[in-house]
Amino acid sequence: MALGAAIVPRACRRWLRTDLLVLRLQKLLAGAGHGSRRCIEDWIRAGRVTVNGKPARLGDRAQPGDDIRLDGKPLAAGAVGQAHAVLLYNKPVGEVTTRADPEGRPTVFDHLPPPPHGRWIVVGRLDFMTSGLLLFTTDGALAHRLMHPSAEIEREYLVRSRDLLSPAQLRQLHAGVTLADGDARFDSVTQARIEGTHAWYRVILREGRNREVRRLWQAIGSDVSRLLRIRYGPVPLPRELGAGAWQLLPPAIHEQLTLAAGGPNEARRDDEPAVWRAARERRRAAPSRTTRRPAGAGKP
C-alpha cells in the first residue's frame, strides 16, 4: 500500500483528489482565462461544452489532461497546483490590447515572453493611443475578479490636457458627469505640471469603462492629448521600465492583487454551486434567531 493511502483516512483521500487534481469544470476553465465562471456556466447550459467527447453538465469536474471543447474547438485547461505568474508590460502607443487584430496592427501579446504554464490573460485594456501599465497573469479567475466593477480597483493615470482646466471644470470632474453609459467621476484630480499651453494632471478612478478618462475630459469641454496609466491597484509602473519592455513580478505581487480583489476566501467561493451562494445570502438577510440568555438564568 502506498504511504499516502496508509496514513490518510479514506474521506481525506477523497477530498485531496477532488480539491487538488479535479476541479469543477467552470472553475478550471475560468482559471485558464477562458471567461468568467458564470459565462462558462451559460456555455454548459447551452450544451456548447464537451469533456472527453461527452456533453458537459453543471457540477461536472475535470482536470488539465481531459479533452475539453467549446463548439468542437479544444480549450486548454491550464495547470493545477502550479504557482501563478504576474507580468507587467509598459504598453507603447500604437498597440492594441487583443491577441489578434483584424486590421493587422501590432498587439501587446506580440512582445511577451512565453508564460511558465497556461497562457497570459490581460487584466483590463488600454486603447490604441493610450500607453503605460498593463498587467498579465496566468490566473484567469484573479484576472476576472480584478476587472469586475465590484472590486473597485484603483487605476491611476497621467493626463496631458490640451488646456489648463478651470476650478469649475476640476470641481465637475470630482462631482461627476453623465456619460452615455451612466454617471462617472474621478476619485482624485491633481495638477502635476504645466508645459506651455498644455497641463498634466494625475487622476484616479475605480472603473474600467471604455475610454472613460478621455470621455470625462470631453464632457467638460476639454480634450486629452496624451494618456499614460501609471498604477493598477497596488502595482505601480516602474520608472526605469521603458516603453515596450516587460517585467516578471515576484510571487508576493500575486498575493497583493488577490487581497485587492477581495482576498483568497472569495477565490475559494468562486467554485461553490449557485444554490449554496443563494442560501448564504438568505441567511445573511434573515434576522438572527439567536437570543442571549440573561445573566443568571437557569441557575439556582
Burial of residue 160 (CB within 10 Å: 0-12, 13-18, 19+) is middle
Residue among 241, 234, 285, 271 at smallest CA distance from 27: 271
pLDDT tens, 199-242? 999 999 998 889 999 999 999 999 999 999 999 999 999 999 99
Set of cell numbers at residue 113: 515572453
Set of cell numbers at residue 230: 501609471
Percentage of the chain surpassing pLDDT 70?
A: 77
pLDDT tens, 61-109? 887 778 889 899 888 766 555 678 999 999 999 999 998 899 999 999 9
Amino acid at 124: G
pLDDT at 136 over 70: yes
Mark whether 223 is an active-site residue: no
* Residue 135 backbone phi and psi in degrees, to 5: -105, 140
Arithmetic mean of pLDDT over the chain: 81
Hey, where are the domains in the chain?
3-74, 86-260
pLDDT at 294 over 80: no
CB 225 within 8 A of CB 162: yes
Q: Tell me which of 3.40.50.2000, 3.40.1260.10, 3.10.290.10, 3.30.300.100 is the CATH number of domain 3-74.
A: 3.10.290.10
At 263, is the pLDDT very low, low, confident or very high (cuts 50, 70, 90)?
Answer: low
Set of cell numbers at residue 181: 453609459
Amino acid at 40: I
Q: Where are the alpha helices (DSSP H) in the chain?
A: 3-7, 10-16, 25-31, 37-45, 140-147, 167-175, 212-219, 251-260, 264-269, 274-285
| Catalytic residue from among 60, 66, 101, 127 | 127
Q: Which residues are registered as beta bridge partners of 74? A: 69
The CATH architecture of the domain made up of 86-260 is 2-Layer Sandwich (3.30)
